[in-house]
Amino acid sequence: MATAIKKPLTAAQFKKKVVQHLNFTSSQTDYQQDPTAVLRAVCLTVNEVVYEKLTETNQYHKEHKSRSINYLSLEYLMGRMLSNNLHNLDLFDVAQKAVASLGFEIEDIFEEGHDLALGNGGLGRLAACFLDSLATMDFNAVGYGIHYEHGLFKQQFHQGRQIETPDEWREYGNPWEVCRPEAVQNIPLFGHVETIANTDGSVQKVWHSGQTIKGVPWDVPIVGYNSKTVNVLRLWESRASSHFDWDQFNSGAYQDAHSAQNHAETISKVLYPNDETDAGKELRFIQQYFFCACSIKDIIKRYQEQYADDWSQFSKQVVIQLNDTHPTIAILELMRTLIDEQGFTWSDAFAMCREIFAYTNHTLLPEALEKWSVDMFERVLPRHLEILYTINEFFLDQEVAALWPNDHQMRRRLSIIEEGPQKMVRMAHLCVVTSFKVNGVAQIHSDLVKSDLFPEFNQLYPSKLTNVTNGVTPRRWLKACNPELSKLLDSKVKSDWAKDLSSLSAVAKFADDEKFQQKFMAIKHNNKVKLAEEILTSTGVVVSPDAIFDVQIKRLHEYKRQHLSFLHILALYRRLLADPDYDMHPRVYIFGAKAAPGYYLAKEIIYAINKVADKINNDDRINGKLKVVFMPNYRVTLAEKIIPAADVSEQISTAGKEASGTGNMKLALNGAITIGTLDGANVEIAEEVGDDNIFIFGNTVDDIKALEANGYNPYDYYNNDEEIKACLDWLLTDYFTPGNPGELSAVAHSLLDGGDPYRLLADFADYAKANIALDNAYKDKARWARMAIINTAKMGKFTSDRSIQDYVDNIWKLTPMSSQD
Ligand code: 9GP
């Protein structure tokens, strides 16, 4: 029998528990002025419910021997947990009343929480949405990752420039996690491999490692929405296998006594702050191996608790999803374990891996497709490299040779090892060769994976490459972050739309209903008022909620083209200076983006936007028609405030470069209208909302290919478009940086002498035109309201529940808890 969904506590019971925790867990009696103490006590109270459900979930899956999905990801961008957990447990109102009776607003309590920022951007946030959906849909799932001491850096601006400071999310502990000493793992690395000849003529390989690191697991419970399930996200922290050298300490060498500990702890110290480029450092490589090895050992341990040494059920019980190439070493670690420790033959081990691993590709950008040098591989993981060579040999000699006999070019192209002055391991090739399925993250992206990235692999393994379009959880990205809109939707939609997002299509029939339009837009306005306050607090800029709130929130990257919008802002400013009556509805451009600390141009773009913003925001000549704000420290919590208030969603990447995007889905779900290129999931959003409810502009993937085939020259646009020329030349003057001409020139140079690698100038004119169409649409209040309502109504496809169902049906083949009875 499945466990029943827990009845929520009453507000009085909840309050009693909170007070008990304040008094007896934290020894706090004087908490009236201490929201942090209250937050902790509220979390501990919620945990009582959560851990009971977690125990029941575990028991159920043990009894039912449920197949599990093991999601391996180097990144999880969880954000804050409390509000989400309260909503998912149906305890929100109860907690709100309980803390009110203690003299606090629940929102103020939330504000005390830290973001779990263990990720960079879309990839990590997607993983968080997937965990939410897996628990909501009652699937047996474990997320595996790294327990970084410092998550993504905090961003401040100093005179317009980005300053990074460390993120201290768990400096004083994190109430949502629990340490599991019973599941600690020891991870060998470095050393050498000994080949032992057996008397029967066979050879045995023995890896003598040079160092052992301890992996300590911390479990973060993942609470399903209105479901029976609490799953876990298991995060590994690295520690020295023996803490510190007692003898050395006693002999007075205090620093040395800690050195092994420091070295080991470095592995889980920081999240790499780069999400599109290969950091290329040994530490990053060891991070990847460390968390893969811990996770594989843990998966085997969990299996053996049920099946002991009977391996016949392993591939029926376990599927492992590789989130990008970062966890690829898991393949080699499982191969090594099966062959060296469990006595499998190479072919049986490989066949097993081919039933267990699936891989998601999240990018076509060549610099983000990971490669590691063979030398480093050999130094850190000598046994894994040997195994990798055997896989490559089998692949080239048996599979490539069968389809392309004696084709050396093809062998070279497909080989897992890239030849060259420095031999490199192509991690994506290892993934494609070994995984039983490879998916892209939006239809256009998956098509490009087949046609442009891996065409030969697609020929070799015709049914392996597939698509699963990304999605976002409507629990966090509508129900929790936009409570007023949620209530309005509740009043019109009979079923629980947060669990069945396609039911929102019912509100489409109210798109022309004047009263509904008014209510919908009044909520948007209220959200804009709140955001305007936040903008004032964080940037000191006053913005009017009556202006169009035009939002671009995502990592700072040239391919995402924040500088396209920036160039257009310059053009608007110029038009307004030339004609203060220039006909445009007042617009506030709202940016949120972190630049990787070593990404020079990205940081220059931030600086340029901030400098131009300073000038524009203080220029009385333009009557407040244009404002520009760059909100510092963009993160999940800030996204939750910006998204409900957005009128316009900027999704303006170069066609073919953004694999999917997920901010585009969150913004449209909250009634923002997209201005975007035919890239990533924009294409599918356009299909859902219809051409009248989105502003599509710019070159398509094919157009860009044609432009490039003809020899792309940015000067053609510069010389032929007076506005482009004037705006780029403006950046070379000291207009925005008095006394310092040329301070903003990096952006202009990248677009001209730098060759404009992301074809921004080729899209500028059409983007400007689309913006005029958008402005006209906004001036027609009823039309805009209609568009916004349709956007919310038609986002059903983009729930992460649908993505998970696609994974389950086409890749993972899982059965949810309830239907197993
Ligand atoms: O750049 C993609 C983004 O388009 C996508 O939405 C996200 C989730 O699939 O993954 C991003 N990729 C990476 O962060 C690195 O591959």
Distance 146 CA to ligand 1 centre (A): 19
Q: Which of 360, 473, 662, 792 is catalytic?
A: 662
Once rounded to an integer, what is the mean pLDDT over residues 158-175? 95
Owner of token pair 């083949």: 813
- Which residue type, as a one-letter code, is found at position 70? N
Q: Using a CB cutoff of 8 Å and minimum separation of 24, what contacts does 741-748 make?
A: 743/607, 743/611, 744/604, 744/607, 744/608, 744/611, 744/612, 746/600, 746/601, 746/604, 746/608, 747/563, 747/566, 747/601, 747/604, 747/605, 747/608
Considering the domain boundaries, does residue 76 fall inside one? yes
Residues 298 and 176 in one domain: yes
> pLDDT tens-digit profile of 714-768?
999 999 999 999 999 999 999 999 999 999 999 999 999 999 999 999 999 999 9
Considering the domain boundaries, does residue 91 fall inside one? no
Q: Which of 147, 228, 554, 625 is catalytic?
A: 554
Count other C-beta atoms under 10 Å from residue 663's C-beta.
28
In the 8-state DSSP scheme, what is residue 79? E
Assess whether 611 carries a catalytic annotation: no
Phi-psi region of 221 (alpha: psi -120 to 50; beta: other; left: phi over 0): beta
Distance CA 593, CA 608 (A): 13
Considering the domain boundaries, does residue 311 fall inside one? yes
Residues 784 and 809 in one domain: no
Assess whether 411 carries a catalytic annotation: no
Once rounded to an integer, what is the mean pLDDT over residues 342-347? 96
> pLDDT tens-digit profile of 521-557?
999 999 999 999 999 999 999 999 999 999 999 999 9
With pLDDT > 90 as the criterion, what percentage of the chain qualifies? 91
Distance 563 CA to ligand 1 centre (A): 20
Q: Over 90: is that where the pLDDT of 1 sits?
A: no
CATH number (domain holding residue 344): 3.40.50.2000
Distance 647 CA to ligand 1 centre (A): 24
Once rounded to an integer, what is the mean pLDDT over residues 287-299? 98
Q: What are the DSSP calls for 436-486, one per residue?
A: SEEEESSHHHHHHIIIIISHHHHHHSTTTEEE----B-HIIIIIIT-HHHH
Distance CA 44, CA 732 (A): 56
User: What is the model's pLDDT at position 4?
Assistant: 44
Nearest-CA residue for ligand 1 atom 10 is 123
Residues 421 and 524 in one domain: no
> Would you call 103 exposed, middle or buried from its count of C-beta atoms within 10 A (0-12, 13-18, 19+)?
exposed
How would you classify the pairing of strands 548-553 and 587-592? Answer: parallel
**From the alpha carbon of 658, which atom of ligand 1 is closest?**
4
Phi-psi region of 173 (alpha: psi -120 to 50; beta: other; left: phi over 0): left
Considering the domain boundaries, does residue 189 fall inside one? yes
Q: What is the mean pLDDT of the chain?
A: 95
Per the structure block, which two tokens stand in for 279? 């950091």
Instruction: Look up the pTM and report it.
Output: 0.97
Distance CA 449, CA 433 (A): 15
Instruction: Answer whether 170's CB lies under 8 Å from 149's CB.
Output: yes
Nearest-CA residue for ligand 1 atom 6 is 661
> pLDDT tens-digit profile of 300-341?
999 999 999 999 999 999 999 999 999 999 999 999 999 999
Residues 299 and 373 in one domain: yes
Cα–Cα distances in angstroms (integers) from residue 243 to residues 58, 188, 246, 401, in the given order: 32, 16, 9, 51
User: What is the model's pLDDT at position 138?
Assistant: 98
> pLDDT tens-digit profile of 137-158?
999 999 999 999 999 999 999 9
Distance CA 692, CA 312 (A): 55
Considering the domain boundaries, does residue 160 fall inside one? yes
Distance 694 CA to ligand 1 centre (A): 22
User: What is the model's pLDDT at position 250?
Assistant: 73
Per the structure block, which two tokens stand in for 237? 């922290």
Considering the domain boundaries, does residue 233 fall inside one? yes
Residues 451 and 547 in one domain: no
Q: Which of 17, 362, 499, 627 is catalytic?
A: 362
**From the alpha carbon of 659, which atom of ligand 1 is closest?**
4
Q: In a mutational test of the pocket of ligand 1, which residue from 118, 321, 363 has the highest number of ligand atoms less than 8 Å from its CB?
A: 363
Distance 361 CA to ligand 1 centre (A): 8
Say which range, 193-207, 401-415, 437-451, 588-602, has the weakest mean pLDDT.
193-207
Once rounded to an integer, what is the mean pLDDT over residues 492-501? 96
Q: Identify the band that residue 30 occupies on the pLDDT scale cut at 50, 70 and 90.
A: confident
> pLDDT tens-digit profile of 369-428?
899 999 999 999 999 999 999 999 999 999 999 999 999 999 999 999 999 999 999 999
Once rounded to an integer, what is the mean pLDDT over residues 58-72? 97
Looking at the chain, how many residues does it have? 821
Distance 375 CA to ligand 1 centre (A): 29
Instruction: Give CA 652 to chain center in angstroms.
Output: 19
Residues 218 and 292 in one domain: yes
Q: In a mutational test of the pocket of ligand 1, which residue from 152, 362, 467 has the highest number of ligand atoms less than 8 Å from its CB?
A: 362
Distance 5 CA to ligand 1 centre (A): 35
Distance 599 CA to ligand 1 centre (A): 18
Nearest-CA residue for ligand 1 atom 14 is 123
User: What is the model's pLDDT at position 6?
Assistant: 54
Residues 541 and 447 in one domain: no
Taking the CA atoms of residue 117, residue 633, residue 587 and residue 748 in that order, the dihedral angle to the nearest 10 degrees is -110
Q: Which of 40, 555, 627, 657 is catalytic?
A: 555
Distance CA 778, CA 542 (A): 21
**From the alpha carbon of 365, which atom of ligand 1 is closest?**
16
**From the alpha carbon of 441, which atom of ligand 1 is closest?**
9
User: What is the model's pLDDT at position 821?
Assistant: 54
User: What is the model's pLDDT at position 222?
Assistant: 98
Nearest-CA residue for ligand 1 atom 8 is 123
Residues 447 and 482 in one domain: no
> 696: domain range?
476-489+513-798
In the 8-state DSSP scheme, what is residue 799? B
Considering the domain boundaries, does residue 660 fall inside one? yes
**From the alpha carbon of 125, which atom of ligand 1 is closest?**
8
**From the alpha carbon of 361, which atom of ligand 1 is closest?**
16
Kindly report the backbone phi and psi dihedral angles of residue 404, in degrees, each rounded to the nearest multiple of 5, phi listed first. Answer: -130, 75
Q: In a mutational test of the pocket of ligand 1, which residue from 123, 325, 684 has the highest number of ligand atoms less than 8 Å from its CB?
A: 123
Q: Identify the band that residue 244 occupies on the pLDDT scale cut at 50, 70 and 90.
A: low
Assess whether 158 carries a catalytic annotation: no
Q: Over 70: is that where the pLDDT of 216 sits?
A: yes
Residues 417 and 535 in one domain: no
**3-class DSSP state for residue 226?**
coil
Assess whether 554 carries a catalytic annotation: yes
Considering the domain boundaries, does residue 98 fall inside one? no
User: What is the model's pLDDT at position 2?
Assistant: 39
ipTM of the complex model: 0.99
> pLDDT tens-digit profile of 708-724?
999 999 999 999 999 99
Distance 655 CA to ligand 1 centre (A): 14
Ligand 1, residues at Cβ distance < 6 Å: 121-123, 126, 275-276, 324, 362-363, 368, 441, 470, 658-662, 680
Residues 580 and 456 in one domain: no
Say which range, 66-80, 130-144, 235-249, has the weakest mean pLDDT.
235-249
Distance 556 CA to ligand 1 centre (A): 13
- Give me the number of domains the chain comprises: 2
Residues 466 and 570 in one domain: no
Distance 364 CA to ligand 1 centre (A): 10
Q: In a mutational test of the pocket of ligand 1, which residue from 361, 660, 798 has the highest number of ligand atoms less than 8 Å from its CB?
A: 660
Neighbouring-strand partners of residue 239 = 214
Q: Which of 666, 759, 786, 802 is catalytic?
A: 666
Q: What is the rounded radius of gyration, in angstroms, for the C-alpha atoms of the chain?
A: 27
Distance 557 CA to ligand 1 centre (A): 12
Q: What are the DSSP calls for 685-739, one per residue?
A: HHHHH-GGGSEE-S--HHHHHHHHHT---HHHHHHH-HHHHHHHHHTTSSSSSTT
Distance 621 CA to ligand 1 centre (A): 41
**From the alpha carbon of 363, which atom of ligand 1 is closest?**
16
Residues 440 and 481 in one domain: no
**From the alpha carbon of 680, which atom of ligand 1 is closest?**
4
Q: In a mutational test of the pocket of ligand 1, which residue from 77, 278, 284, 441 has the highest number of ligand atoms less than 8 Å from its CB?
A: 441
